């Protein structure tokens, strides 16, 4: 996978700052994290930036930001910038996951309980 990624990195003549328009995702309104789920609200409109169009195509079913980043071979920051634009245009909806820390104790409890069976 990493080899493939490497091949891909070699491939495009464009650099990442052109894809994000120079933004690094610092000023994102809605903080996205790796496990935020994204769903597209519609298909990509004509003349859209290929990366954003690709995200919209990927998001026909809910998918996490991490997965999007992996499929596109783009760093998380780039994907979050692109998603930020898509959110602003209301082309995608995001949903944060329940904080995993809250569940952790419960899961452990359940496991312990199961073990004791």
Where on the chain is the footprint of other proteins (CB under 8 A)?
1, 4-22, 24-26, 34-35, 37, 39, 43, 46-47, 50-51, 53-54, 57-58, 60-64, 66-67, 69-78, 95, 97-98, 100, 103-104, 107-108, 111, 114-115
**Beta carbon of residue 87, minimum distance to other proteins (angstroms, whole number):** 15
Which lies closer to other proteins via its Cβ, residue 51 or residue 88?
51
Side by side, which strands form the sheet with 37-40?
63-64, 37-40, 92-95
Angle between helices 50-58 and 65-72 (to 10 degrees): 130
| Residue (of 24, 33, 34, 78) closest to 52 by Cα position | 78
């Amino acid at each position: 996978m990493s080899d493939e990624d490497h091949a891909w990195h070699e491939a495009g003549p464009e650099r990442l700052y052109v894809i994000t328009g120079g933004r690094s995702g610092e000023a994102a309104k809605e903080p996205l994290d790796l496990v935020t789920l994204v769903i597209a609200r519609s298909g990509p409109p004509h003349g859209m930036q290929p990366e954003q169009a690709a995200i919209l195509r990927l998001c026909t079913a809910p998918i996490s930001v991490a997965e999007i980043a992996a499929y596109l071979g783009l760093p998380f920051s780039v994907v979050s910038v692109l998603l930020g634009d898509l959110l602003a245009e209301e082309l995608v909806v995001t949903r944060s996951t329940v904080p995993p820390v809250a569940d952790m104790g419960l899961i452990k409890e359940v496991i312990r309980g199961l073990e004791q069976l």
